[in-house]
Chains A and B, each alone.
Chain A
Amino acid sequence: MLILRESSYIYVRNLRTWLAQPTMIVAAVLSSAVMYLFFGEPLRGITGLPGFPAADYQAFLTAMVIVMAVVFSGSDMAMVLLTDIMSGYVDKLLLSPVNRFSILLGTLAIGATRAIAQVVAIILVATAIGVRFEGGVAGILAVIAATTLLGVAMGCVGLIIAVRTRSVQVTVNSWLLFMPLAFLTSAFMPRDLITGWFQFAVGLNPIEYILVAVRTVIIDGWVWEHIVPGFWVLLGTSAVLIGLATYEYRRATN
């Protein structure tokens, strides 16, 4: 199919661009390792609290490290896209007879690739420090698949930010927007142990459900009642964001 062929050209170019910025990649892996270190060690004692679901806090944290890395990649994607727009390279692509959709696909596919690379790197680090994945190999594959889709969804958020705000200033600082998504969750502490408005806010955050599902697969294995809500939320959120991004993109290029 022509669209796929065209998208693959754009995709390869985006991949090259990404690989040409090793700092970005190193920073992504490093920040994950640092999160284990900073949050894992000092908070280790939390597992002793009554009602805490996991014996190994590192294992508990792994889901948070994965989901956060992917959530914040949306901000990176926004910046990458904005750079192409500002440099006039997007115009160059739009001048070519390539289908508009191919350009979008090639862009979102890179969001997926980045997510996969990050998640695989984190799983390797986790394994190295002794985290056991209760879901087994199937669980690991499921986690990778889910976070890949999340990566695409966050890439969509990045695209919308870049196309809508029209500003380097806003885009550079757009990680602020991803902060509540990442932190208004039970990332450090199970939801039962959180109280007050925070607990309420966590309940409203779609990322929370995805996080819980990922964490369940990692620390408990296939406990469906904790996985299924996350699955649907992920599917729904992704569908909405992909739809919105497509709409914004069409508006901006048509």
Chain B
Amino acid sequence: MQRPPAVLVQGLEKTYPGGTRAIDGIDFTVEQGEFFGFLGPNGAGKTTTIKILATLLSKSGGHVEVAGIDIDQDARAVRSSIGVALQEVGLDDLSKGRDFLVLQGRLYGVGRAEANRRADELLELVGLSGVGKRKIGSYSGGMRRRIDLAGALMHRPNILFLDEPTSGLDPQSRLAIWEHLEQLNAQGVTVMLTTQHMDEADRLCRRLAIIDHGRLVAEGSPGALKAAVGGDVVRVSFGPMDSPDGRADIALGTLRRLPAVQEADTTPDGLTATVDDGGAAAPAILRALNDAEIPVANLAVTRPSLDDVFLHHTGREIRESDADEDAESRVWGQWMGVNRR
């Protein structure tokens, strides 16, 4: 029997009561055991999607299955099989860290002894063992995110939805969390995470989708997405020259005539060229510059980064932030009636 995908999304749409069309018909599938990245600029619709998958928010249209269960049929069964850490952590400030975790486990049906054991284990994991008896209200921003994440792991879910799980964390915590997520994934846990950090996506995710304005604009493995953006970039910096005037333009002309070079441009200390295959093009570029008697101090080949992929698909314009919105009304908007499931 074929295992159902961990997440199946078909024609998903979401229009908020105010009229904002946050999700404009998206389709994607996350197979069981996958590590799936969901990227997009601010306001693209990542959080909205995660909340719908987690059954916290109602959708306006489309079909969604999580763990093989239609979320409209049995939301409760879906909730049992997933762990969720939202972008805006929902914590109980008056509760002690450890109590919060134990309760979280109990709410998911974990037995008392096991919940206590697991709480200690997770406190250790997220580096909060020392403050488990302190009230969450006294935690720093990073500590809050970590205890929230630990809460999502209490019942050992098979599917994890993590909305920017490492934002605001220091490099140590981030690394520890990455390693744990990799470990969980190696044990077969499906992870879908959103992130603004391309290095995080690059390291963790075996498949990515990029969403912008509520639509998927790209999907594939990090390698394939990078390859699709275009070739490698060769950066050359010039050595000292007797008469530098005009030499850069001459070099540029030389390079542009090379068949391997797709595109070339000057930089303050040299030039860059976009090529299909950096390894093959580099010698030809060096030779051409040598023939033109232009000294080369340094040459480096870089493959496109995920940042390049991201910018290529979503453009460079900065998205309006939600920061200026009244925080209170926003929370309420999310919580209120019609809007919820």
Contacts and interface: CB of A to CB of B under 8 A. Distances in A.
- Pick from A6, A88, A251 the residue with the most CB of B within 10 Å: A88
Given A95-B84, A253-B340, A13 B92 contact: yes
Given A86-B331, A97-B80, A251 B54 contact: no
A223 B128 CA distance: 61
B163 to A, nearest CB: 12
A17 B340 CA distance: 26
A21 B151 CA distance: 24
B293 to A, nearest CB: 66
Contacts of A91: 56, 86, 90, 334-335
Interface string A87-121: 11111111111110000000000000000000000
A13 B95 contact: yes
B88 A16 contact: no
Nearest to A100: B76
A20 B100 CA distance: 14
Given A95-B79, A166-B336, A252-B336, A89 B90 contact: yes
A20 B54 CA distance: 31
Interface stretch (B105-113, B177-185, B188-196, B237-245): B105-113
B120 interface: no
Interface string A6-42: 1001001100110011000000000000000000000
A20 B135 contact: yes
Given A85-B331, A86-B331, A252-B337, A16 B99 contact: yes
Contacts of B84: 95
A9 B107 contact: yes
Given A16-B94, A20-B135, A96-B79, A166 B106 contact: no
Contacts of A84: 92
B248 interface: no
A95 to B, nearest CB: 5
Contact of A168 (B54, B328, B334): B328
Given A9-B106, A88-B88, A93-B107, A17 B94 contact: yes
Nearest to B327: A86
B92 A17 contact: yes
Contacts of B334: 91
B341 interface: yes
A16 to B, nearest CB: 7
B82 to A, nearest CB: 8
A127 interface: no
A14 B108 CA distance: 18
Contacts of B56: 91, 94-95
A200 B310 CA distance: 71
A contact residues, range: 20 to 34
A88 B90 contact: yes
Given A96-B79, A166-B336, A254-B340, A87 B107 contact: no
Contacts of A16: 94-95, 99
B93 interface: yes
Nearest to B329: A166
A87 B336 contact: no
A97 B109 contact: yes
A88 B91 contact: yes
Interface string A35-73: 000000000000000000000000000000000000000
A95 B80 CA distance: 9
B340 A252 contact: yes
B73 to A, nearest CB: 14
B229 interface: no
A87 B93 contact: yes
A99 B104 CA distance: 14
A13 B103 contact: yes
Nearest to A2: B109
Interface string A165-196: 01110000000000000000000000000000
Contacts of A88: 86, 88-91, 331
Contacts of A99: 76
Given A91-B86, A92-B90, A97-B76, A85 B95 contact: no
Nearest to A248: B337
Interface in B283-341: 328-329, 331-332, 334-337, 340-341
A87 B90 contact: yes
Contacts of B108: 96-97
Nearest to B58: A254
A90 B90 contact: yes
Top 3 closest pairs, chain A to chain B, by CB: A88-B90, A92-B90, A166-B332
11 contacts: A13-B103, A87-B91, A88-B90, A92-B92, A95-B55, A97-B77, A97-B108, A166-B328, A167-B332, A168-B328, A254-B340
Interface of A: 6, 9, 12-13, 16-17, 20-21, 84-99, 166-168, 251-254
Given A6-B107, A87-B92, A97-B109, 6 more contacts: A20-B135, A85-B332, A92-B90, A96-B79, A166-B336, A252-B337
Interface of B: 54-56, 76-77, 79-80, 84, 86, 88-95, 99, 103-104, 106-109, 135, 151, 328-329, 331-332, 334-337, 340-341
